[in-house]
Amino acid sequence: MSEDESRCEAASHQKTVLLGVTGCIAAYKSCEIVRLLQKAGVRVKVVMTEHATEFVGPLTFRSLTHEPVGVGLFDNPSDPIHHISLAQEADLFLIAPCTANVIAKLANGLADDLLTTTALATTAPLVIAPAMNVNMYENGATRYNIGKLHIRGARIIETGDGYLACGDVGKGRLADVEDIVSAVLDELGLSRDLAGKRVMVTAGPTVEPIDPVRYISNHSSGKTGYAIARAAALRGADVTLVSGPVSIAPPEAVRTVRVRTALEMFEAAQEAFGAADIAVFAAAVADVRPKQAAPRKLKKGEADAALGAIELVENPDILATLASSKKRQVVVGFAAETDDVVANAEKKLSTKHADLVVANQVGEGKAFGTDDNQVWFVDDEGVEELPRMSKERLADAILDKALEFVR
Ligand code: C5P
Protein backbone atom coordinates (compact mmCIF):
# COMPACT_ATOMS: atom_id res chain seq x y z
CA MET A 1 0.00 0.00 0.00
CA SER A 2 1.40 3.40 -0.93
CA GLU A 3 1.98 6.12 1.65
CA ASP A 4 -0.89 8.20 0.24
CA GLU A 5 -3.24 5.20 0.24
CA SER A 6 -2.45 4.31 3.84
CA ARG A 7 -3.05 7.90 4.90
CA CYS A 8 -6.38 7.81 3.04
CA GLU A 9 -7.32 4.60 4.79
CA ALA A 10 -6.44 6.14 8.15
CA ALA A 11 -9.53 8.30 7.82
CA SER A 12 -12.56 6.17 8.70
CA HIS A 13 -14.52 7.89 5.94
CA GLN A 14 -13.30 10.49 3.51
CA LYS A 15 -13.72 13.97 4.93
CA THR A 16 -14.86 16.85 2.77
CA VAL A 17 -13.27 20.26 3.15
CA LEU A 18 -15.06 23.16 1.54
CA LEU A 19 -12.35 25.63 0.54
CA GLY A 20 -13.47 29.25 0.23
CA VAL A 21 -11.22 31.43 -1.91
CA THR A 22 -11.57 35.21 -1.77
CA GLY A 23 -10.19 38.08 -3.88
CA CYS A 24 -6.56 38.38 -2.91
CA ILE A 25 -3.24 37.98 -4.68
CA ALA A 26 -2.55 34.96 -2.43
CA ALA A 27 -5.47 33.13 -4.13
CA TYR A 28 -2.97 31.19 -6.26
CA LYS A 29 -1.68 29.56 -3.06
CA SER A 30 -5.11 27.94 -2.62
CA CYS A 31 -4.18 25.59 -5.47
CA GLU A 32 -1.35 24.18 -3.31
CA ILE A 33 -3.75 23.91 -0.36
CA VAL A 34 -6.05 21.76 -2.52
CA ARG A 35 -3.13 19.52 -3.49
CA LEU A 36 -1.88 19.06 0.09
CA LEU A 37 -5.35 18.30 1.43
CA GLN A 38 -5.87 15.75 -1.32
CA LYS A 39 -2.48 14.20 -0.49
CA ALA A 40 -3.74 13.76 3.07
CA GLY A 41 -6.76 11.89 1.74
CA VAL A 42 -9.29 14.72 1.98
CA ARG A 43 -11.93 15.52 -0.65
CA VAL A 44 -11.94 19.22 -1.52
CA LYS A 45 -14.72 21.33 -3.00
CA VAL A 46 -14.13 24.97 -3.81
CA VAL A 47 -16.36 28.01 -3.54
CA MET A 48 -15.05 31.39 -4.72
CA THR A 49 -16.09 35.01 -4.49
CA GLU A 50 -16.49 36.95 -7.76
CA HIS A 51 -13.35 38.91 -6.89
CA ALA A 52 -11.33 35.72 -6.40
CA THR A 53 -12.07 34.72 -9.99
CA GLU A 54 -10.09 37.81 -11.10
CA PHE A 55 -6.98 36.15 -9.63
CA VAL A 56 -7.51 32.44 -10.38
CA GLY A 57 -10.09 30.99 -12.77
CA PRO A 58 -12.70 28.51 -11.47
CA LEU A 59 -11.50 26.12 -14.18
CA THR A 60 -8.16 25.74 -12.33
CA PHE A 61 -9.92 24.56 -9.18
CA ARG A 62 -12.38 22.42 -11.17
CA SER A 63 -9.43 20.68 -12.82
CA LEU A 64 -7.59 20.16 -9.52
CA THR A 65 -10.61 18.95 -7.53
CA HIS A 66 -12.63 17.20 -10.26
CA GLU A 67 -15.63 18.86 -8.62
CA PRO A 68 -17.87 21.73 -9.73
CA VAL A 69 -16.75 25.12 -8.37
CA GLY A 70 -19.35 27.45 -6.88
CA VAL A 71 -19.22 31.21 -7.50
CA GLY A 72 -22.67 32.79 -7.95
CA LEU A 73 -25.64 32.14 -5.65
CA PHE A 74 -27.88 31.23 -8.57
CA ASP A 75 -25.34 29.65 -10.95
CA ASN A 76 -26.42 26.06 -10.44
CA PRO A 77 -29.86 25.51 -12.02
CA SER A 78 -29.88 21.84 -11.01
CA ASP A 79 -29.51 22.84 -7.35
CA PRO A 80 -31.58 25.95 -6.51
CA ILE A 81 -30.38 25.94 -2.89
CA HIS A 82 -26.71 25.29 -3.63
CA HIS A 83 -25.49 27.06 -0.48
CA ILE A 84 -27.45 24.65 1.71
CA SER A 85 -26.17 21.52 -0.01
CA LEU A 86 -22.59 22.83 0.11
CA ALA A 87 -23.04 23.75 3.78
CA GLN A 88 -24.30 20.26 4.62
CA GLU A 89 -21.59 18.44 2.66
CA ALA A 90 -18.71 20.17 4.43
CA ASP A 91 -16.95 18.54 7.38
CA LEU A 92 -15.00 21.78 7.64
CA PHE A 93 -15.15 25.16 5.92
CA LEU A 94 -11.70 26.64 5.30
CA ILE A 95 -11.46 30.16 3.88
CA ALA A 96 -7.93 30.75 2.58
CA PRO A 97 -7.01 33.40 1.70
CA CYS A 98 -9.67 35.40 3.54
CA THR A 99 -9.79 39.15 2.85
CA ALA A 100 -10.62 41.88 5.36
CA ASN A 101 -13.92 42.40 3.54
CA VAL A 102 -15.02 38.78 3.86
CA ILE A 103 -13.86 38.68 7.49
CA ALA A 104 -16.05 41.75 8.13
CA LYS A 105 -19.03 40.12 6.42
CA LEU A 106 -18.61 36.86 8.35
CA ALA A 107 -18.19 38.69 11.66
CA ASN A 108 -21.49 40.50 11.07
CA GLY A 109 -23.44 37.61 9.59
CA LEU A 110 -23.77 39.16 6.14
CA ALA A 111 -24.65 36.74 3.35
CA ASP A 112 -24.61 38.43 -0.03
CA ASP A 113 -22.87 35.81 -2.18
CA LEU A 114 -22.46 32.03 -2.33
CA LEU A 115 -19.37 31.93 -0.08
CA THR A 116 -20.74 34.06 2.76
CA THR A 117 -24.22 32.53 2.52
CA THR A 118 -22.70 29.05 2.79
CA ALA A 119 -20.59 30.17 5.77
CA LEU A 120 -23.74 31.32 7.53
CA ALA A 121 -25.62 28.14 6.65
CA THR A 122 -22.99 25.59 7.68
CA THR A 123 -22.58 24.08 11.13
CA ALA A 124 -19.12 22.76 10.18
CA PRO A 125 -16.07 24.19 11.97
CA LEU A 126 -14.77 27.35 10.34
CA VAL A 127 -11.03 27.86 9.77
CA ILE A 128 -9.93 31.26 8.50
CA ALA A 129 -6.53 32.13 7.05
CA PRO A 130 -6.48 35.92 6.58
CA ALA A 131 -4.30 37.66 3.98
CA MET A 132 -4.20 41.38 3.33
CA ASN A 133 -2.12 44.55 3.49
CA VAL A 134 -0.48 45.18 6.88
CA ASN A 135 -2.49 48.36 7.59
CA MET A 136 -5.76 46.62 6.76
CA TYR A 137 -4.72 43.74 9.03
CA GLU A 138 -3.82 46.03 11.91
CA ASN A 139 -6.84 48.30 11.47
CA GLY A 140 -9.01 48.25 14.59
CA ALA A 141 -12.06 47.21 12.55
CA THR A 142 -10.29 44.09 11.26
CA ARG A 143 -8.84 43.25 14.68
CA TYR A 144 -12.35 43.60 16.17
CA ASN A 145 -13.91 41.43 13.44
CA ILE A 146 -11.24 38.73 13.81
CA GLY A 147 -11.79 38.80 17.58
CA LYS A 148 -15.54 38.33 17.07
CA LEU A 149 -15.00 35.33 14.80
CA HIS A 150 -12.53 33.83 17.25
CA ILE A 151 -14.98 34.19 20.14
CA ARG A 152 -17.64 32.50 18.01
CA GLY A 153 -15.35 29.47 17.66
CA ALA A 154 -13.64 30.05 14.32
CA ARG A 155 -9.99 28.98 14.19
CA ILE A 156 -7.89 31.86 12.93
CA ILE A 157 -4.54 31.01 11.39
CA GLU A 158 -2.25 33.94 12.14
CA THR A 159 -0.71 35.66 9.14
CA GLY A 160 3.04 35.60 8.61
CA ASP A 161 5.43 38.54 8.70
CA GLY A 162 7.35 39.70 5.67
CA TYR A 163 7.16 41.32 2.24
CA LEU A 164 3.61 41.84 1.03
CA ALA A 165 2.53 41.91 -2.60
CA CYS A 166 1.73 45.65 -2.28
CA GLY A 167 5.37 46.38 -1.36
CA ASP A 168 4.73 46.98 2.35
CA VAL A 169 6.51 44.90 4.97
CA GLY A 170 4.77 43.50 8.04
CA LYS A 171 1.94 41.23 9.08
CA GLY A 172 -0.69 40.19 6.56
CA ARG A 173 0.97 37.48 4.47
CA LEU A 174 -1.07 34.32 4.14
CA ALA A 175 0.32 31.74 6.60
CA ASP A 176 2.40 28.93 5.07
CA VAL A 177 0.15 26.54 3.19
CA GLU A 178 1.61 23.57 5.11
CA ASP A 179 0.61 25.22 8.39
CA ILE A 180 -2.90 25.92 7.09
CA VAL A 181 -3.31 22.29 6.01
CA SER A 182 -1.84 21.07 9.30
CA ALA A 183 -4.43 23.12 11.22
CA VAL A 184 -7.24 21.75 9.04
CA LEU A 185 -6.15 18.11 9.48
CA ASP A 186 -5.81 18.73 13.20
CA GLU A 187 -9.32 20.22 13.34
CA LEU A 188 -10.68 17.21 11.41
CA GLY A 189 -8.96 14.82 13.85
CA LEU A 190 -7.50 12.78 11.03
CA SER A 191 -5.13 10.09 12.20
CA ARG A 192 -1.84 10.13 10.36
CA ASP A 193 1.21 7.91 10.26
CA LEU A 194 3.09 9.81 13.01
CA ALA A 195 0.04 10.19 15.26
CA GLY A 196 0.97 9.30 18.84
CA LYS A 197 4.70 9.75 18.14
CA ARG A 198 6.85 12.42 19.77
CA VAL A 199 9.40 14.04 17.50
CA MET A 200 12.19 16.35 18.60
CA VAL A 201 14.06 18.47 16.07
CA THR A 202 17.02 20.78 16.59
CA ALA A 203 17.37 23.45 13.92
CA GLY A 204 19.20 26.58 12.87
CA PRO A 205 22.57 27.88 14.00
CA THR A 206 23.72 28.63 17.53
CA VAL A 207 25.13 32.03 18.43
CA GLU A 208 28.05 32.26 20.85
CA PRO A 209 28.56 35.78 22.23
CA ILE A 210 32.06 37.29 22.21
CA ASP A 211 30.96 40.62 23.67
CA PRO A 212 27.67 42.60 23.61
CA VAL A 213 28.00 43.24 19.85
CA ARG A 214 29.91 40.29 18.36
CA TYR A 215 29.33 36.56 18.17
CA ILE A 216 30.50 33.30 16.60
CA SER A 217 27.88 31.61 14.40
CA ASN A 218 27.34 30.06 10.95
CA HIS A 219 25.19 30.31 7.81
CA SER A 220 22.46 27.82 8.81
CA SER A 221 19.01 29.12 7.77
CA GLY A 222 17.06 26.51 9.74
CA LYS A 223 15.01 25.62 6.65
CA THR A 224 15.67 21.87 6.75
CA GLY A 225 14.94 21.48 10.46
CA TYR A 226 11.82 23.64 10.20
CA ALA A 227 10.60 21.63 7.19
CA ILE A 228 11.08 18.39 9.18
CA ALA A 229 9.23 19.77 12.21
CA ARG A 230 6.38 21.01 10.02
CA ALA A 231 6.13 17.74 8.05
CA ALA A 232 6.11 15.72 11.28
CA ALA A 233 3.29 17.87 12.68
CA LEU A 234 1.38 17.54 9.41
CA ARG A 235 1.71 13.76 9.77
CA GLY A 236 0.25 13.87 13.27
CA ALA A 237 3.33 13.88 15.52
CA ASP A 238 3.66 15.85 18.73
CA VAL A 239 6.66 17.98 17.77
CA THR A 240 9.18 19.95 19.82
CA LEU A 241 11.43 22.19 17.75
CA VAL A 242 14.53 23.46 19.53
CA SER A 243 15.61 26.37 17.36
CA GLY A 244 18.58 28.66 17.26
CA PRO A 245 18.02 32.21 15.95
CA VAL A 246 16.55 32.11 12.42
CA SER A 247 14.48 34.51 10.35
CA ILE A 248 11.74 32.06 9.36
CA ALA A 249 8.38 31.74 11.12
CA PRO A 250 7.86 28.76 13.46
CA PRO A 251 5.47 26.15 12.07
CA GLU A 252 1.90 26.00 13.45
CA ALA A 253 1.06 23.15 15.79
CA VAL A 254 4.71 22.74 16.83
CA ARG A 255 6.14 23.50 20.28
CA THR A 256 9.05 25.82 19.49
CA VAL A 257 11.72 26.38 22.13
CA ARG A 258 13.91 29.31 21.12
CA VAL A 259 17.52 29.21 22.19
CA ARG A 260 20.64 31.16 21.30
CA THR A 261 23.75 29.34 22.48
CA ALA A 262 24.85 25.70 22.18
CA LEU A 263 24.58 25.32 25.96
CA GLU A 264 20.97 26.56 25.86
CA MET A 265 20.25 24.21 22.93
CA PHE A 266 21.77 21.32 24.86
CA GLU A 267 19.55 21.97 27.85
CA ALA A 268 16.36 22.27 25.78
CA ALA A 269 17.21 19.24 23.63
CA GLN A 270 17.99 17.18 26.72
CA GLU A 271 14.58 17.97 28.11
CA ALA A 272 12.76 16.95 24.92
CA PHE A 273 14.96 13.92 24.08
CA GLY A 274 13.80 11.76 27.01
CA ALA A 275 10.23 11.54 25.75
CA ALA A 276 11.04 11.51 22.03
CA ASP A 277 10.40 8.58 19.70
CA ILE A 278 12.33 10.23 16.89
CA ALA A 279 15.06 12.83 17.47
CA VAL A 280 16.42 14.74 14.49
CA PHE A 281 19.55 16.82 15.03
CA ALA A 282 19.46 19.25 12.13
CA ALA A 283 21.02 22.22 13.94
CA ALA A 284 24.40 23.60 12.93
CA VAL A 285 25.84 23.88 16.42
CA ALA A 286 28.89 26.10 16.81
CA ASP A 287 31.78 23.82 17.72
CA VAL A 288 33.39 26.39 20.03
CA ARG A 289 32.40 29.34 22.19
CA PRO A 290 34.38 32.12 23.84
CA LYS A 291 35.20 30.90 27.35
CA GLN A 292 33.72 34.06 28.74
CA ALA A 293 31.59 36.65 26.93
CA ALA A 294 33.13 40.09 27.61
CA PRO A 295 30.74 42.39 29.50
CA ARG A 296 31.72 45.37 27.27
CA LYS A 297 32.73 45.79 23.64
CA LEU A 298 36.28 44.58 23.09
CA LYS A 299 38.57 47.17 21.56
CA LYS A 300 41.19 46.56 18.91
CA GLY A 301 44.68 46.41 20.38
CA GLU A 302 43.75 46.72 24.07
CA ALA A 303 46.18 44.59 26.03
CA ASP A 304 43.70 43.33 28.64
CA ALA A 305 40.83 42.58 26.29
CA ALA A 306 42.31 42.19 22.83
CA LEU A 307 40.07 40.70 20.15
CA GLY A 308 42.94 38.49 19.03
CA ALA A 309 43.21 36.86 22.45
CA ILE A 310 39.70 35.44 22.78
CA GLU A 311 39.96 32.11 24.58
CA LEU A 312 37.76 29.45 22.99
CA VAL A 313 36.36 26.31 24.61
CA GLU A 314 34.58 23.38 22.92
CA ASN A 315 30.81 23.15 23.02
CA PRO A 316 29.21 19.85 24.03
CA ASP A 317 28.27 17.58 21.13
CA ILE A 318 24.53 17.56 21.73
CA LEU A 319 23.78 14.70 19.36
CA ALA A 320 26.61 12.41 20.48
CA THR A 321 25.97 13.04 24.19
CA LEU A 322 22.21 12.49 24.09
CA ALA A 323 22.34 9.57 21.64
CA SER A 324 24.91 7.71 23.78
CA SER A 325 22.13 7.10 26.32
CA LYS A 326 19.33 6.47 23.82
CA LYS A 327 16.72 3.85 24.60
CA ARG A 328 13.82 3.62 22.16
CA GLN A 329 14.68 6.91 20.42
CA VAL A 330 15.42 6.77 16.71
CA VAL A 331 18.31 9.18 16.23
CA VAL A 332 18.90 11.06 13.00
CA GLY A 333 22.04 13.16 12.60
CA PHE A 334 23.35 15.31 9.80
CA ALA A 335 26.76 15.52 8.22
CA ALA A 336 27.38 18.73 6.32
CA GLU A 337 30.74 18.34 4.63
CA THR A 338 32.74 20.05 1.94
CA ASP A 339 34.82 16.91 1.13
CA ASP A 340 34.52 13.12 1.45
CA VAL A 341 30.85 13.57 2.28
CA VAL A 342 29.83 9.90 2.50
CA ALA A 343 33.02 8.67 4.21
CA ASN A 344 32.67 11.34 6.89
CA ALA A 345 29.01 10.47 7.37
CA GLU A 346 29.87 6.78 7.81
CA LYS A 347 32.29 7.73 10.60
CA LYS A 348 29.63 9.90 12.26
CA LEU A 349 27.11 7.05 12.28
CA SER A 350 29.12 5.23 14.95
CA THR A 351 30.86 8.12 16.74
CA LYS A 352 27.53 9.90 17.21
CA HIS A 353 25.47 6.75 18.01
CA ALA A 354 23.01 7.68 15.25
CA ASP A 355 20.63 5.28 13.48
CA LEU A 356 20.72 7.38 10.35
CA VAL A 357 23.03 10.12 9.12
CA VAL A 358 21.80 12.47 6.41
CA ALA A 359 24.87 13.58 4.51
CA ASN A 360 25.06 16.59 2.28
CA GLN A 361 27.67 18.74 0.64
CA VAL A 362 28.07 22.33 1.81
CA GLY A 363 30.05 25.29 0.55
CA GLU A 364 29.95 27.03 -2.84
CA GLY A 365 26.33 28.06 -2.27
CA LYS A 366 25.18 24.48 -1.59
CA ALA A 367 22.68 23.47 1.13
CA PHE A 368 22.87 26.47 3.50
CA GLY A 369 19.96 28.81 2.84
CA THR A 370 18.82 27.07 -0.36
CA ASP A 371 15.30 25.72 -0.91
CA ASP A 372 16.43 22.32 -2.14
CA ASN A 373 19.18 19.84 -1.37
CA GLN A 374 20.74 16.57 -2.52
CA VAL A 375 21.61 14.10 0.22
CA TRP A 376 22.77 10.58 0.99
CA PHE A 377 21.17 8.39 3.66
CA VAL A 378 23.88 6.53 5.57
CA ASP A 379 22.92 3.74 7.99
CA ASP A 380 24.16 0.30 9.09
CA GLU A 381 22.72 -1.21 5.92
CA GLY A 382 24.72 1.03 3.59
CA VAL A 383 24.44 4.24 1.59
CA GLU A 384 21.46 5.50 -0.42
CA GLU A 385 21.86 8.46 -2.76
CA LEU A 386 18.71 10.55 -3.10
CA PRO A 387 17.93 12.84 -6.04
CA ARG A 388 17.92 16.62 -5.56
CA MET A 389 14.57 17.66 -4.10
CA SER A 390 12.87 20.48 -2.22
CA LYS A 391 13.54 20.66 1.53
CA GLU A 392 9.81 19.95 2.07
CA ARG A 393 10.01 16.67 0.12
CA LEU A 394 13.30 15.84 1.78
CA ALA A 395 11.67 16.32 5.19
CA ASP A 396 9.07 13.67 4.34
CA ALA A 397 11.76 11.35 2.97
CA ILE A 398 13.77 11.65 6.21
CA LEU A 399 10.67 10.94 8.32
CA ASP A 400 9.76 7.95 6.12
CA LYS A 401 13.27 6.57 6.62
CA ALA A 402 13.25 7.28 10.39
CA LEU A 403 9.94 5.40 10.71
CA GLU A 404 11.72 2.26 9.46
CA PHE A 405 13.83 2.34 12.65
CA VAL A 406 11.01 2.90 15.14
CA ARG A 407 11.32 0.14 17.70
O1 C5P B 1 30.43 16.92 14.09
P2 C5P B 1 29.49 17.63 13.20
O3 C5P B 1 29.22 19.04 13.64
O4 C5P B 1 29.81 17.57 11.74
O5 C5P B 1 28.14 16.80 13.34
C6 C5P B 1 26.95 17.18 12.77
C7 C5P B 1 25.79 16.55 13.50
O8 C5P B 1 25.98 16.63 14.90
C9 C5P B 1 24.52 17.33 13.24
O10 C5P B 1 23.44 16.41 13.32
C11 C5P B 1 24.49 18.34 14.37
O12 C5P B 1 23.18 18.79 14.65
C13 C5P B 1 25.08 17.54 15.52
N14 C5P B 1 25.86 18.34 16.49
C15 C5P B 1 25.38 18.55 17.76
N16 C5P B 1 26.13 19.26 18.67
C17 C5P B 1 27.33 19.76 18.32
C18 C5P B 1 27.83 19.55 17.02
C19 C5P B 1 27.06 18.85 16.13
O20 C5P B 1 24.26 18.12 18.07
N21 C5P B 1 28.04 20.43 19.20
Model confidence over 335-349: pLDDT tens digits?
999 899 999 999 999
Which ligand 1 atom minimizes the distance to the CA of 319? 20
* Phi, psi (degrees; rounded to nearest 5) at 288: -130, 160
Which residue among the candidates 8, 31, 98, 166 is catalytic per the annotation? 166
Strand partners, 335: 359
Reported confidence tier of residue 302, pLDDT bands at 50, 70, 90: low
- Residue 5's nearest CA partner among 157, 139, 193, 250 is 193
Residue 11 has pLDDT above 60, yes or no: no
Rounded to the nearest whole angstrom, what is the distance from the C-alpha of residue 281 to the centroid of ligand 1? 7
Question: What is the mean predicted confidence (pLDDT) over 244-272?
Answer: 94
Instruction: Please answer whether residues 398 and 380 qualify as being in contact, where contact means their C-beta atoms are separated by less than 8 angstroms.
Output: no
Instruction: Please answer whether residues 279 and 293 qualify as being in contact, where contact means their C-beta atoms are separated by less than 8 angstroms.
Output: no
pLDDT of residue 75: 85
Which ligand 1 atom minimizes the distance to the CA of 202? 12
pLDDT of residue 13: 60
Rounded to the nearest whole angstrom, what is the distance from the C-alpha of residue 288 to the centroid of ligand 1? 12
pLDDT of residue 299: 76
Protein residue whose Cα sits closest to atom 13 of ligand 1? 319
- Residue 157's nearest CA partner among 29, 58, 44, 346 is 29
> What are the tens digits of pLDDT across the range 18-61?
999 999 999 999 999 999 998 787 999 999 999 999 999 999 99
- Residue 179's nearest CA partner among 107, 105, 244, 230 is 230
- Mutation choice for ligand 1 from 218, 285, 339, CB with most ligand atoms inside 8 A: 285
Q: Which residues contact 189 (CB under 8 A, 6 or more apart)?
A: none
Residue 166 bears catalytic tag: yes
Protein residue whose Cα sits closest to atom 5 of ligand 1? 335
Which ligand 1 atom minimizes the distance to the CA of 354? 10
Best-predicted range by mean pLDDT (34-38, 348-352, 362-366): 348-352
Which ligand 1 atom minimizes the distance to the CA of 337? 4
pLDDT of residue 137: 95
Cβ density class 65-74: b for 16+ within 10 Å, e for less: beebbbbebe
Q: Give residue ranges with CB within 6 A of ligand 1.
A: 202, 262, 281, 283, 285, 315, 317-319, 333-335, 348, 352
Residue 167 has pLDDT above 90, yes or no: no
Rounded to the nearest whole angstrom, what is the distance from the C-alpha of residue 284 to the centroid of ligand 1? 6
pLDDT of residue 2: 44
| Cα angle value 83/84/88 (rounded, 5°) | 120
Reported confidence tier of residue 386, pLDDT bands at 50, 70, 90: very high
Residue 10 has pLDDT above 60, yes or no: no
Residue 399 has pLDDT above 60, yes or no: yes
Rounded to the nearest whole angstrom, what is the distance from the C-alpha of residue 98 to the centroid of ligand 1? 42
Rounded to the nearest whole angstrom, what is the distance from the C-alpha of residue 102 to the centroid of ligand 1? 48
